[in-house]
Chains A and B, each alone.
Chain A
């Protein structure tokens, strides 16, 4: 992902022009990167509305601070870092109840499997929301964006070991929630049987 510029997804020239104050070039950048940033923010803060606020703040910070970016090839990772800091800044101030309603397709699996899936999903969601934001950030950048841990650490400006430990703690918490959901479901099925 951080190699997107080298791969041609983000035009280095566009980054350079935006860095020198070209608002049209920055608009191009926004159109190119906003979906990716929104996806990261949404997964970290777990609230679509808040994620949009975070994205707006992050994009404006990116615009203001672009002249500080030394290497245009590193734009995307740099933008990720600003976004994650925006998540840190905005999420605690905007903590609110959130609910997620999903529609399950009725023709894809057995009813028991659907119930299992819902149970797993809800437990994971709950567990994920209880993770500290810095653990969520590492988890999302690694599992959703697909960055190797070394790149996650570089993006967030933290040591490799810190990234690794945050991922470990996050995974451990989620796995515990997952296993709890499974155990509860098995118990329920046993009672029904």
Chain B
């Protein structure tokens, strides 16, 4: 009995050690970051890949992550050198998915003028045309990116003037590498939406338009439906935001969302370190050579620019390799397709254990 009491006391001492007062610098840092970190909007969407194999499901997760990375690139701010953008490529026409998807928000119409701006943007993406894309997103002199990626926001801030950065080209290049296409399924005005960004105030009535968009990632052999939100101020486009799919509840085809993947990765490292060492690419801390070399190949004779762009791309290129393309949205699962089956089994083990 004494031993039990002694053990309980020892446990109490183990757990009662130290102070739990949060240092003010920790709270200050959080509150500062919150000021530039938008909240996620809660929305649900129908996932249309019920017949996918698990490999493709994992790939689908990665592609969603890729979309996140795209948003992150936007969050970095983007930029010109518009004359040296990637050559437009011909891509197959994307047809909306066969599954009927209900309109997002109801019958409120969107004016032709605003739909023209949205279509121009989608066309520019499909053509990998950085120039047209920048033109679409430069209605009032400021590129207003979407996304809610803290790293990007902290590093570069939101609403970077286009003239300050080059990442539109980087983003378009990645789109091309992945064979990214987009097609509008339906757009509806959201009369209840809050104007969150307010760029270009005084240019006309603000309006938020939400579009359901089918996206296709050819090199990943998959399609994803996303919601793209446009914030208009008069005729000007003040903001374009991505909203990623909500992967809960768990009967969705995709087993894990963003946080779930991170948690699985942590779980794998903690419980199966040998597997983690095999599946997960090692994290690196310096911009890789290929980032600079890639840019040098895009603009021969300008090594200075290549060196400047390589670190900007680093966050998106670190840690991840798919079909020879070394792209990786930062902070996300480094994934090697060679271990797809084992990863599938591991994710299922994880799901059983944590009951996500």
Contacts and interface: CB of A to CB of B under 8 A. Distances in A.
Same assembly: yes
Interface in A10-48: 21, 23, 26-27, 30-31, 34-36, 38-39, 42-43, 48
Contact of B40 (A67, A92, A102): A67
B193 interface: no
Interface string B32-76: 011101111110000000000000000000000000000000000
A92 B355 contact: no
B148 A89 contact: no
Please classify how large the interface on chain A is, using the bins under 10, 10 to 19, 20 to 34, 35 or more.
Answer: 35 or more
Interface stretch (B7-15, B307-315, B340-348): B7-15
Chain B interface secondary structure, helix, strand, loop or mixed?
A: helix
Contacts of B3: 179, 182
A135 B115 CA distance: 53
A82 to B, nearest CB: 8
A92 B269 contact: yes
B259 A85 contact: yes
Interface string A36-66: 1011001100001000100110011101111
B267 A64 contact: no
Contacts of A102: 17
Contacts of B41: 67
Interface stretch (B23-31, B163-171, B229-237, B319-327): B23-31
Given A92-B269, A159-B355, A121 B13 contact: yes
B116 interface: no
A34 B266 contact: no
A61 B15 contact: no
Contacts of A91: 266, 270
B286 interface: no
B338 interface: no
A174 B39 contact: no
B195 interface: no
B355 A162 contact: yes
A118 to B, nearest CB: 10
A174 B12 CA distance: 12
A68 interface: yes
A117 interface: yes
Contacts of B267: 88, 134
Nearest to A21: B39
B355 A48 contact: no
A121 B14 contact: yes
A158 interface: yes
A143 B270 contact: no
A9 B35 CA distance: 25
Given A89-B262, A89-B263, A120-B10, A144 B39 contact: no
Interface residues of B, number: 45
Given A38-B22, A182-B3, A125 B14 contact: yes
Contact of B22 (A34, A66, A100): A34
B21 interface: yes
A121 B7 CA distance: 10
Interface in A65-97: 65-68, 85, 88-93
A178 B40 contact: no
B99 interface: no
Contacts of B262: 85, 89
A156 B30 CA distance: 24
Interface string A145-184: 0000000000011110010000000000011001100100
B7 A55 contact: no
Nearest to B276: A92
A34 B17 CA distance: 17
Nearest to A36: B20
A48 B18 contact: yes
Contacts of B40: 64-65, 67-68
Interface of B: 3, 6-7, 10-11, 13-15, 17-18, 20-23, 26-27, 29-31, 33-35, 37-42, 148, 150, 194, 246, 259, 262-263, 265-267, 269-271, 353-356
Interface of A: 21, 23, 26-27, 30-31, 34-36, 38-39, 42-43, 48, 52, 55-56, 59-61, 63-68, 85, 88-93, 100, 102, 117, 120-121, 124-125, 128, 132-134, 140, 143-144, 156-159, 162, 174-175, 178-179, 182
Given A68-B40, A88-B266, 7 more contacts: A42-B18, A52-B26, A60-B34, A89-B263, A92-B269, A125-B14, A182-B6
